[in-house]
Structure 1
Amino acid sequence: MAVNWLGLLSIGVFYVLILATGIWASKKSKHEEKKCSGNRSEVAMVGGRNLNIWVSIFTMTATWVGGGYVLGNAEVIYDPTKGLVWATAPIAFPINMILGGLFFVKPIRSKTYVTLADPFQEKYGNVFGAILFIPALIGDILWVACILSALGGTVSVIMDLSSAIAVTVSAVVAVVYTLLGGLYSVAYTDVIQLTFIVLGLWVCVPFILTSTYSANFTVAAVTKLHQEPWIGKLELKDVGRWVDELLLLGIGGLCYQAFYQRVLSTATDAQAKLTCYVGGVLCLTLAIPSLVIGAVAASTNWNETTFGSPSPYEQGKAGMILPIALHYLCPFFVSLIGIGALAAAVMSSADSALLSASSQLARNVFKNIIWKDASEKAILVVVKLSVVLCGVIGAGLAMLTSSVHLLMIVSGDVLYSMLTPQVMCTFFLPQLVNLYGACTGFVLGILLRLLVGQPEIGLPDVLPLPWDEMQEDGSRHRLFPFRTAIMLLTTATIILVSQLGEWISKKRLLRSTSDADMKRDTHYMEPIQRHAEESEKLNEE
């Protein structure tokens, strides 16, 4: 297989541009660190809390419109067993942003929080707060794997280059510029990357639509031509599963640290909310090119193309249908523009997830538990080591599966099932919950999710669910909205056990479960309490 050297050169130029932008942004980060010498690690994590509003909007949008989003949308609409009605991400992501702006900006910005784990550690103590971070870490690493897998498959299709090499090189570039400048490098490179995504994909759409190999894709939406209509079917029995996936992405996305890093990096609550609302609109708009390409691919007679027979779906390559369509339905130079857009989409999300996981590891595990008197320099070292470690693990996982959509769903699943109940209770029901309830709910959520299983990734389904349909191969087709059921059951358990524990403590059978009596780390709490007192004084004045 001959390497496409011209394509390789074009992608190399793109990577150099991104890396140069990251290096430039790192100088701005160093300047901010000098101004905030006492909180250098916070500059790396939340950009000194003074990020330009336009940069903030770009980085928020680019984080969500990643490789998983772009390739996953095309995969779902092309897959004859799914179709457009199952493309829940373009609906869920704007919902995610709007809900975030309406309800989550104020709680996370009310104190000097830096990560999502901060409010957990404030309420439940450092150790259990850090334990709650584990699902977030898993979700971030799976997200990195999802988007690196997207790029690996893309490059292997268009450039005749090993996907393992593409994943490795992309991971290295993302790790390097994230190491150099933290959030500043991530945010400013996101501006370049989002521009590539918008221009690159929209440039490809006219060529895809005018391809001589494709039937009228509007006719193919409701009429069977080369495969089932790409509009898809949503039967009554499948409504529960559809709602489950929609809520998973729409609400589970509010548990990603990457979201809160951008919310916390702005100067005011109003700017943070504007970032969310505009980002939601852009997420919906930027779904259109990938959906169109997926629809055209579903309308194409692949036997007439140089791809030949069997079709991409029959070869198990539905996850790579977007780059396949760019390669076989567009002129060569147009496909190069498309690959640049996809590379941009991948890296814009990979760097965000890497910084997200490393920030919580450095602050909430290393600083608050392992070495409470750690210097700012030591914390920054741990941030950088964590970026490298998470990049290596994510790249390794990216080589294990070809379904981008599956990784995207599993990543959100981990957070939705296990972390959403904790976020909701801590932010909105703090007077009703305590450590006993939170611990019980966390264990129950993990146990139920493991028992339900995920056969697609090798996790057996031990716990039978209602409304399951047995397939010919012996597998179960799940119709029950089990993720939402686990989330609601876990939330109810946290509240009930907390209240039961409070009642028992009043009978002097247990140690008091009130927040005042919980074992706290005063070294961690003092800055937050001091900030709250200062804010109250300013409001009074």
Structure 2
Amino acid sequence: MALDIPGLIGVIVFYIAILVIGLLAGRKKSSDSNSQFLANRDLGVFVASFTLSATMVGGAYINGTAEEVARRGIIYINAPLCLNLGIVIAAIVIAPKVRKAGYSTIFDPLQSRFGEKMGALLFFNEFFANLFWGAAILGALGSSLSLILDLDVDLCIVISACVAIAYTFFGGLYSVAYTDIIQLIFMAIGLVLAIPFAFTNEAVDISSVKDTWVGTLPTSKIGVYIDMCLLCVFGGIPWQVYYQRVLACRSPSAARTSSLIGTFMATLMLIPPTLIGIAGSAADWNMTSFETSGNLTSDQLAAILPMSVRYLCPTAVSVVGLGAISASVMSSADSLVLATGSVFAKNIYNTLFRPKASDREIVWVLRISILVVGAASTALAIVVHSIFALFVLCTDLMYVAHFPQFVCALWFEGGNTYGSLCGFVVALLLRCLGGEPALKMPVVLKYPMFDETSGEQLFPYKTLAMLCSLGTLVGVSLLTNFIFTRNIIGKKFDIFHCFQEEVTEKDAKDVKMLSNEDEQTDKDKSNTDRPLLDKENGDDETKL
């Protein structure tokens, strides 16, 4: 396959444009930590809606949608639909609450409720999830561009990552937000433009998929399907990458409104890749210039969207479409590295290690974190080829282990470190014992309806693990509150110091009351002795 010169020029022009816009957007604003983290909490509904939607509509969102439609049918695009439903719930219930509280990151309430160290421990699950997610989408983009433009995969990955990291490094959330606007518009134009050409290509016979494009769901798989739906709805709620935009809005009402508008836009963006996926599955690829020996391989099906844009559309349309695919990846990659760097700089470095760090120091820690996370994701995308499996596991843990912690941090005032730690351990244990075929983790705990033949868990065990984690967190917190507040166990055994502050405050009040009583006693005694002294002095003066 020859090098696609027009496509290459189109992608280069797009990358340069995004880089320039990102750098200019960042330079126009201040460079303090509040600007880098939260854009000075000055995002209006328009900008916030676009940056939220662009973050959701990433490479996995549009590429994965087209792949699932082509591979198994439209019924299997439940993941992005359920993710959008979760954001709607968060927009109505959570976004106004956390914006009104004025948090800097979504880990602030976790550290406030469960302690700074426990909050830091909970961060590492999202850290690895973001790391693997970034590597997965960069790897997918590199494979797509390599397949279509006939370029080296590693070169495509490195260049794409460098562009996203560069403007995020200098401009923070301002750069990310304003480039997201351009990227989302570019995605919409490029994908919508490709639809009529893909459907009218002579190689596409829609009648060949009229009985398969919807897909089928075996009865035995209903439990797995429900588990995945619940995972996407509630597992997508506690991510910092979403709340970074919520907390940057001008007001709680703006946070709610922009979330709802952004989710609506993201849902609309499901339509183009779904239609292109149908066209790709109905295509006879031997009638195109794409070199294939028969049915598409699994790797080729994973790239069905860029392949359809490239080989089923005219050159001019495919150039715009490739830019759209690149935009979808960068709009997620920049958000991931910024979200991870923000939490590390604020909740780990500043809170745990350097409480008195200057604003300039925090900004540079953020920038260094962006470089490290970006470089690590890029390296993983190049070296490891099973990144997506790791990302799936971390996403599971966000639902199983992190969601209960997040809910309790916001609404359960009795939560403490003991409950948080026990709930986290239970979630981790139950999830890992259930096994993970993608990582070749053996099934140790066989849940009901376990399929001995395929070795697959058919019971919604991830949801069960989440509920067990939630119940453990609440139960252990209530138990320890009862034990320590009733002095059933001495507070000297409170190793996490969850109740030491209460003791200190009580003791301080008692000391203050005793001090006031002593002071009043001395004052009364002084007032009592004063007349006697005055009388004695008066008698002496009379004698004189």
Q: Which residue of 2 aligns with 1:290?
A: 273
- Which of 207, 211, 215 is 1:232 aligned to? 215
Note the alpha carbon deviations across 1:286-322, whole angstroms, 9 max, x for none: 0011011111122222333333544564353221111
Instruction: Provide the rounded CA distance (Å) in 2 between the counterparts of 1:356 and 1:466.
Output: 38
Q: Which residue of 1 aligns with 2:520?
A: none
Percent of paired sites with the same residue: 34
Alignment of 1:258-407 (within 5 A): 258-311=241-294, 313-399=296-382
Larger of the two Rg values belongs to structure: 2
Q: Which residue of 2 aligns with 1:526?
A: none
Q: Which residue of 2 aligns with 1:132?
A: 122
Instruction: Provide the rounded CA distance (Å) in 2 between the counterparts of 1:510 and 1:138.
Output: 38
Number of residue pairs aligned between Structure 1 and Structure 2:
500
Instruction: Provide the rounded CA distance (Å) in 2 between the counterparts of 1:425 and 1:275.
Output: 25
- Residues 91 and 259, structure 2, Cα contact 8 Å, conserved in 1: yes
Instruction: Provide the rounded CA distance (Å) in 2 between the counterparts of 1:308 and 1:479.
Output: 39
Displacement of 1:169 in angstroms is 0.7
Displacement of 1:409 in angstroms is 4.0
Q: Which residue of 2 aligns with 1:19?
A: 19
Q: Which residue of 1 aligns with 2:451?
A: 469
- Quickly say closer, same or farther: Cα 1:311–1:449, change in 2 above 3 A: farther
Q: Which residue of 2 aligns with 1:509?
A: 489
- Which of 420, 438, 441 is 1:438 aligned to? 420
- Which of 438, 446, 464 is 1:456 aligned to? 438
Instruction: Provide the rounded CA distance (Å) in 1 between the counterparts of 2:279 and 2:501.
Output: 59
Note the alpha carbon deviations across 1:341-389, whole angstroms, 9 max, x for none: 0001100111011100000010111001111111111111110111111
Q: Which residue of 1 aligns with 2:10?
A: 10
Alignment of 1:475-494 (within 5 A): 475-494=454-473
Displacement of 1:111 in angstroms is 2.2
Instruction: Provide the rounded CA distance (Å) in 1 between the counterparts of 2:328 and 2:58.
Output: 4
List alignment gaps of at least 5 residues for structure 2.
506-544
**How much is the aligned-residue C-alpha RMSD, in angstroms?**
2.3
The one-letter code of the counterpart of 2:371 is V
Q: Are residue 170 (structure 1) and residue 131 (structure 2) matched?
A: no
Instruction: Provide the rounded CA distance (Å) in 2 between the counterparts of 1:482 and 1:514.
Output: 34
Q: Which residue of 1 aligns with 2:49?
A: 57
- Which of 143, 147, 164 is 1:157 aligned to? 147
Displacement of 1:198 in angstroms is 0.5
Note the alpha carbon deviations across 1:469-528, whole angstroms, 9 max, x for none: 245xxx5233221221111110011011111212222243153699664599x9xxxxxx
Instruction: Provide the rounded CA distance (Å) in 2 between the counterparts of 1:323 and 1:391.
Output: 24
Instruction: Provide the rounded CA distance (Å) in 1 between the counterparts of 2:387 and 2:309.
Output: 17
- Quickly say closer, same or farther: Cα 1:423–1:310, change in 2 above 3 A: farther
Instruction: Provide the rounded CA distance (Å) in 2 between the counterparts of 1:355 and 1:151.
Output: 20
- Residues 136 and 255, structure 1, Cα contact 8 Å, conserved in 2: no
- Residues 96 and 256, structure 2, Cα contact 8 Å, conserved in 1: no
Instruction: Provide the rounded CA distance (Å) in 2 between the counterparts of 1:334 and 1:434.
Output: 56
Report the TM-score, using the length of structure 2 for normalisation. Answer: 0.87
Q: Which residue of 2 aligns with 1:424?
A: 407
Report the TM-score, using the length of structure 1 for normalisation. Answer: 0.87
Instruction: Provide the rounded CA distance (Å) in 1 between the counterparts of 2:441 and 2:351.
Output: 33
Instruction: Provide the rounded CA distance (Å) in 2 between the counterparts of 1:314 and 1:24.
Output: 43
The one-letter code of the counterpart of 1:101 is A
- Quickly say closer, same or farther: Cα 1:221–1:515, change in 2 above 3 A: farther
Instruction: Provide the rounded CA distance (Å) in 2 between the counterparts of 1:55 and 1:447.
Output: 41
- Residues 419 and 472, structure 2, Cα contact 8 Å, conserved in 1: yes
Instruction: Provide the rounded CA distance (Å) in 1 between the counterparts of 2:98 and 2:169.
Output: 25
Instruction: Provide the rounded CA distance (Å) in 1 between the counterparts of 2:73 and 2:337.
Output: 32
The one-letter code of the counterpart of 2:155 is I
